[in-house]
Amino acid sequence: MNNQALQKVLIIGAGHNDIGREGQHDAAVTQIGAAIRKLGIAVVLVDNNAFSVAAENRFADKVYLEPLTVGSLTKIIAAEQPDGLIPALGGIHAVNLIQGLIRNNVLKNNHVRLLQWDQDTVDMIVNPALMSNRLKAIGEPVIASQVVASEAEAFAVIRKVGFPVIVKSVAPRIEASRQLCEDETDLQRALAMGFKVSATKQCIVEQSIVGYKELEFVGVRDQKDTALLISGMENFDPVGIHSADSIVFAPTQTITDQEYQQFRTATLRIMRRLRIVGACHVQFALDPATQDYFVIKVTPYFDRTMALAARATGYPVARIVANLIVGISLAEVKLPANYRKQTALIEPVLDHIVCRIPVWPFNVLKKVSHQLDTVTESTGSVIGVGRSTEEALLKGLRSTDESRYHVIANRPQNYSEGELIQRLIHPQAGRMLILLEALNRGYQIDELSELTKIDAFYFYKLRHIIEIEQALRERPFDVHALGRAKYFGFTDEDAADAWHSDIHKVHQFALENEIQATFKEIEPTAGEFTEQTNTYYSTYEFDNESQQQSGRRVVVIGTGANRIGTNHGNDYLVSQLLFYLKKADYQPVLVNANPNSVAMTPQLAAKRYVEPKQYSDILNVLAVEKPLLIFSTYHDYRLGQQLSKAGYHVIQINNNLPREQIKTNDSPAVEVITDGVDVAIFGISEIIAGNNLRSNVRGSLEVFPIRDKVENQAIKALHAEIKRRVLAFGVPGLYTLRLTIVDGQLQLATIEPMSIATMALISKASGSSVTRLLLHVKLGEALPKVMYDYPDVNQLKPVYVQANTFPYNQLQIYDDEEVTGEPGHATGTVIAHGETLKDALAALEAGNEDTDF
Amino acid sequence: MADRYLILEDGSAYLGEGFGSPAVSTGEIVFNTSMTGYQEIITNQIYHNQIIAFTQPTIGSYGINHDSYESILPTVKGVVVRDVASISTNRQRRWSLDQYLKQQNIPGISHIDTRHLAKQLRASGPMKASIVDVADAHAFDQLNATVLTNQQVAAVATPKPFPNPGTGLNVVVVDFGLKHGILRELSKRACNVTVLPYTATMEEIINLDPDGVILSTGPGKPQDLPASVVEMIQKIQNRVPLFAIGLGHELFALANGAQIMKLSPEHHGANHPIREVITNQIIYASQGQGFAVDPSTIDRNKLITTFVDLIDGTIQGLRLRDFPAFSVQFFPDGAPGPTEARDVFDEFVESMQQARGPIW
């Protein structure tokens, strides 16, 4: 490849967040865009994700907030004439678009090189049957499968291989899941869904390997064919539960060196034979009885597992891949001074254990099946990091928030034996509690392992957790019992609960007895070399490695897992906050356990703690950092209150109140900022019903700015009242004042803190971040100083519209009562613009052909 | 489980919990960063008289497998871990690590801050250490008074020849404390193998009419072996294809005039990039070395450097210019570790075939 010619590259973003698309793509774009720009190559980014961090803050040279369609990309490519296209950052949707660009000769006609992959790799990613054939040709074992275009063909396959089978869609237009079919009914349903989302109206029917161990390996390779393994990971749950819905451990916990090397070799061989440049994720199924394996899936684009590999190892995957993409070899990669010179070439080794735990939307979407199977249902995940399997697991569970107090207290003790066995065989979300309860009732480990196909190793660990907990209960305020419990991942809260005591008393008792958290660095060499990743986790050992961050330290509490509805924009807010805190010469220290979070991008915070957000976990961090300030978001309101009470200066930044369902079609609002003395108006937004867009639309859209004369004049008239109402609120910040029409007159109705969605909308419309403004007024600066260079939004030409996206199709919810489109169900937000509202709406619709608004 | 201590010759002590044998033992402590393959590492004779600290936090999670031994009897002096796993045993894995160490009279100690220990050893280099019940002055006196043997090869190498029959090329393996992986790789290539004690003379070897000779891996410092070993190598390397691994590589270098130096920090793991000089390819291989060939002492008219560790530039492979004799410092058989270096066994087989001439 002639690297000299590479002066400008195009990145296709992933679009709005969704199930399976949590932020890891935007995190990759953020890092890779920045790294490529540093190498002197211009970066053009196309995305329509309203919460894209990469699309703000100059992580790219030029950003197009345009629909992610072949048509719009064709225009952008014609206008920009990039030299290369980076295909691996936008998920499967981007791969589909690239296939369209190739088929329409757009790349060829504009002399754009496809970087990282051969063109036929694009076809293989989109069509698993092609991938399967290629893998077979290079000698990798794959599962027997066949492409079918009708039910009759599918049943012909069944006659040969028998049930159970897995059905997946060919060339799905969305991140479609594999469906396990045990009988005819399952098969018919899976085929109907598969044909519907398939661009070619085809499905693949394949032999089932349910119950095998599932392993995930991630490697990197450069153009000179140097390849190495970044991480080998193991699913706690067997094949049959989608890996996104499975608990995953890094490194592998139960496989032998022979098995591990078999997968390492296969991963690197696949990358070499497919000539993949960059990172690649390969999933395997292992028959534990015979060591035989199958390759399940090859994913050469960024996904949640690559994000996990990066977070788990501390290996700077994105930065290194950025170099590989533009033709630099692993041996030539220059990393920042905090890494050792050859770090890109060292195969990462871990001296800690990472446990990723999914988070499900079932508390919000009641009618969705809680059964865990081959369909992804989790909306996000968290990681627990520790020095033992127990500690990693307990910290992970704690980070999900589901088991806020502790795993034992929430156990389903009232289940009958029958119910328990049903739940063991047919796992549902929150199964860890079921497994613990079964052990507590005396089920034998080997029996449970046989029943669940989960390796017995884990049941010994779970039994150990129960033993520690029992010892804790039996010995109130016993130093050794507490020390032991904490050593294996329990907290002051757990002890307080076991001892029927108070967290503060337990915390004090622990401190008096020198049971104190120590922090260890997450770095890729297991202590063999000095690496400074500035990323730490807690454990209870001898040596503490985390020293207080120098400078004006502030601790920022991250958002945790991506959830449905209320917090899907929070990570954007936190990322922006970190960025502008650094700009303002603060040293932001992030506490976050979400491996897919953009906020975890190394450039954003000065230092990171991968920790749960339970009160005592945060106290441990604060004991080291002693920050000037703590920032928390609305999601952690209670925690913020507790920390304030403990004497810390906490700024609870913004909020993310779910917007009320707006009944009227047009509901204008005034968007303002105040420092507590002055009030400045950004402009008028309006929420309009979306049901004139598509037949099944239920959600509402937000438009900004509204330049309707009547409304603007009304605001002028209301100016004094707006100021009075906002100042009466008393707290510096961003606010939304809703207007209603009474007797034909616009009047102020309600005032509420501005939603993150509105912040993103105004930021993108103005090309300048309102998070920055929010931060500065929160820090006590005067409005004129903060706003001095902020553009007058009303002078800007285009109209921006924003809409929520919903996971109904993915979750297979077709029930009209549940498909309401209320903001609480949203997983993502898309943005579009146009000269007029009509143009903007057309762009919005064009970009989201497969999404329900 | 009982409280026990790991004490080090610099006076530091770590409190932990005993597992395996309750014996008190003393050895040189080294840390290993491999993430899998504890059984292979514990049974590798290069760790004779050493205590191994694993940085991978959970050890023992897949028990002891009947096909993962690298020697019949392990001779390590101790195993140091953060956490030792309980497991269910079955046909493939009859023993847990705990049971196995009990049988072999090897003490283990868990609940150790192995990350801190690794960082300490990285700075200090290997030290004498003991696993004891009480960390008092007496224990430290005992530790300091202990003189570790330098006759490690004599302790672990076979005293008598034994065969590993095959139907192909005839290979003599000179045993300095060999790793089973070497025999496994030769078996895969159908070689007919005779393993000889390290004291074998050139005549004894030649009398077996070998197509090639392997100098095996083994423990300790190469200079501690009798001069006759080096003389044997000098005579044999000009007569039949020779392949030397690990300690064998160090002896091969000595036999060709190079010096051996102490390596600090040592290499115990499987993740260093190693560059093959001729192809410029980068491979990964299992390493366990406390010594290295001093590059400044290499006679370039005689030896070619074939592999280099990219982390610290240490020589990882040598070749004679004029004869089919070559060596690698790393363990090309893996076990544990990456398998991509196994090609060098093919190279050895090719050199034997060439030396032998056409078979027909």
Flag if A265 and B340 touch (Cβ within 8 Å).
yes
The answer to whether the Cβ–Cβ distance between B116 and A541 falls below 8 Å is yes
What number of C-beta contacts closer than 8 Å exist between A and B?
A: 148
**Of all residues in chain A, what percent carry a pLDDT higher than 70?**
94
Closest residue on chain A to B270 (Cα): A347
- Structural tokens at position B187: 């078996």
Find the angle CA(A779)-CA(A781)-CA(A782) to the nearest 5 degrees. Answer: 150
Report whether A239 contacts A207 (CB < 8 A).
no
Residue type, B135: A
**A309 pLDDT higher than 80:** yes
* Residue closest to A245 by CA, chosen among A91, A81, A380, A100: A380
Identify whether B336 is preceded by a cis peptide bond (ω within 30 of 0).
Answer: yes
Q: What pLDDT, on the 0 to 100 scale, is given for residue A662?
A: 46
Tokens of A145: 């499968």
Query: Locate tokens 């993430």: which residue?
Result: B35
- Residue A429: the pLDDT is 80
Q: What is the reported pLDDT for B184?
A: 97
Q: Considering only alpha carbons, which residue of chain B is nearest residue A543?
A: B116
Average pLDDT score over chain A: 89
Question: Minimal Cα–Cα distance from B231 to chain A, Å?
Answer: 37
Residue B96's identity, in one-letter code, is S
> Across the interface, which of A252, A460, A541 has its CB nearest the CB of B85?
A460
What does the pLDDT read at residue A716?
A: 84
CA angle B187, B191, B192 (to 5 degrees): 110
Our CA-based measurement puts residue B21 at a distance from the nearest CA of chain A, in whole angstroms, of 22
For A76-90, A521-535, A648-662, B311-325, which range has the lowest pLDDT when averaged over its residues?
A: A648-662
> What pLDDT sits at residue A27?
92
Which H or E element spans position A729?
Answer: helix A709-729
Contact A342 B273 (CB under 8 A): yes
Of B35, B40, B65, the CB nearest to A350: B35
What does the block give as tokens for B264? Answer: 């600090």
Give the span between the Cα atoms of A469 and A476, in whole angstroms: 11
pLDDT score of A741: 80
Lowest-pLDDT range, A120-124, A214-218, A338-342?
A338-342
According to the model, what pLDDT value does residue A850 have?
45
Q: pLDDT tens, A766-784?
A: 988 999 999 999 999 999 9
Whether A349 and B33 lie within 8 Å, measured CB to CB: yes
**Rounded Cα gap, residues A392 and A488, in angstroms:** 8
**Residue A359 predicted with pLDDT over 80:** yes
ipTM score above 0.85: yes
Question: B263, B198, B195, B202: which is closest to B226 by C-alpha?
Answer: B198
Model confidence band, residue A694 (pLDDT cutoffs 50, 70, 90): very low
Which carries the bigger pLDDT value, residue A210 or residue B35? B35
Q: What is the pLDDT of residue A823?
A: 76
Q: Which of B14, B40, B272 sits opposite A346 (nearest CB)?
A: B272
Task: Examine the pLDDT at A386 and tell me if it is beyond 80.
Answer: yes
Q: Residue A80: is it exposed, middle or buried by C-beta count within 10 angstroms (0-12/13-18/19+)? A: middle
User: Predicted confidence band at A179 (pLDDT cuts at 50, 70, 90)?
Assistant: confident
Summarised one tens digit per residue, pLDDT across range A607-626 is 999 999 999 999 999 999 99
pLDDT in tens, A115-166: 999 999 999 999 888 999 999 999 999 988 889 999 999 999 999 888 889 8
Probe site for chain B from A255, A261, A484 (most B CB atoms < 10 A): A261
pLDDT at A402 over 60: no
CB contact under 8 A, B62 and A226: no
Query: How confident is the model at residue A825, as a pLDDT?
Result: 83
Chain A closest CA to B115's CA: distance in Å? 6
Token pair for A420: 């328990």
State the DSSP H helix or E strand holding residue B154, giving kind and residue range, or none if neither.
Answer: helix B152-156
Q: Which amino acid is at A817?
A: E
Q: Pick the residue with more confidence: A400 or A175? A: A400
Chain A residue numbers touching B118 (CB-CB < 8 A):
351, 526-528
